[in-house]
Amino acid sequence: MTDAGFQSSTRKIEAVAFDLDGLMFNTEDVYWKVGSELMRRRGREYTQELSNAIMGRPPQVCFEKMIEWHSLDDTWEAMAAESEKVFVSMLDDGVDAMPGMLDLLNALERAAIPKAICTSSSPEVVEAVLSRFGMRPRFEFVLTAADITRGKPHPQIYQKAAQRFGIDPHHLLVLEDSQTGCTAAAASGAFTVAVPAGLSRQHDFSMADLVADSLEDPRIRQVLGLG
């Protein structure tokens, strides 16, 4: 995917916020398996349409949407707890860093550009993923669903990130893989970079400042002033 009309921003980027699932790691593939297993146990089907409706959103919204979609009798809390157990059990089947992610982290660290993770996932899921890769110490902070009252596509998580960094959102660059996440980032005023992959390639990224091919896309480094 390319963005022929892209021109490097003249704004100074002072910090970077990463989404987690589907952006740093291929965990959206795991979530597809988790959703399929949850629906299989209830005699229902997990479809691409349902996946699109919940991708990037906080747990309560996701599971309430599943319950409404299939007229289930579950509570969202019970489904969330079940989902976390299934997710952790499936992590060992193969979760990998997305292409270019480690190189980008190294480049940001060489340039002393601070970075954080802003995800709609629960703290338990985030810890399960980051601990497998020893990633937590590389980030100034991590914001999860537990740190906000209004989830993506509301901009609160990125507004809070900018506040934690001590900068105006205009000087924050956000990397997201979903339409929901990019909507939140753009609404906060951050420079929004969409990095579609797998299940999100058909999303609408018209609100993004840049639609990148991957985290290896040289235009990301151009915006960051990394050469």
pLDDT score of 1: 40
Of 59, 113, 115, 118, the closest CA to residue 87 belongs to: 59
pLDDT score of 4: 41
Q: What is the pLDDT of residues 187-227, one digit of tens each?
A: 999 999 999 987 788 899 999 999 999 999 999 999 999 96
Are 25 and 183 a contacting pair, CB within 8 Å? no
Q: What is the CATH number of domain 15-26+96-224?
A: 3.40.50.1000
pLDDT score of 6: 56
Peptide bond preceding 153: is omega within 30 degrees of 0, i.e. cis?
yes
Residue 26: pLDDT above 60? yes
The residue type found at 164 is R
* Residue limits of CATH 1.10.150.240 in the chain: 28-93
* Distances 23 to 12, 89, 116, 174, 191 between C-alpha atoms, Å: 23, 21, 13, 11, 16
Altogether, the residues listed in the chain come to a count of: 227
Residue 99: pLDDT above 60? yes
* Residue limits of CATH 3.40.50.1000 in the chain: 15-26+96-224
Predicted TM-score (pTM) of this structure: 0.84
Q: What is the pLDDT of residues 128-158, one digit of tens each?
A: 899 989 999 999 999 999 999 999 999 999 9
CA distance 157 to 177: 16
pLDDT score of 2: 43
Confidence of residue 9 (pLDDT cuts 50, 70, 90): low
Are 198 and 22 a contacting pair, CB within 8 Å? yes
Question: Which residues lie below 8 Å from residue 43, measured CB to CB, with a gap of 6+?
Answer: none
pLDDT score of 161: 98
Confidence of residue 20 (pLDDT cuts 50, 70, 90): very high
- The CATH number of domain 28-93 is 1.10.150.240: yes
Q: What is the pLDDT of residues 183-195, one digit of tens each?
A: 999 999 999 999 9
